[in-house]
Amino acid sequence: MGSRWYCRYGVSYRALEEMMTERGVPVDHTTIYRWVQKYAPELDKQTAGT
């Protein structure tokens, strides 16, 4: 979820950390960074055709 928001809206990692914590998912911004590095290429592939 965090990596999708980052790619789609360009929200900062720290802002995403706060947003996810507000939704009951406590996560550190460095974890979100790692998710983006891992999953962003796949998200780009999935949305390339739309």
Distance CA 5, CA 1 (A): 6
pTM score = 0.68
Structure confidence at residue 45 (pLDDT): 81
- pLDDT (tens digit, 9 = 90+) per residue, 1-50? 666 777 777 788 899 899 999 999 999 999 989 988 898 888 778 777 66
The 3-state secondary structure of the chain, one letter per residue: CHHHHHHHHCCCHHHHHHHHHHCCCCCCHHHHHHHHHHHHHHHHHHHCCC
What's the confidence (pLDDT) of residue 11?
A: 84
The predicted pLDDT at position 30 comes to: 95
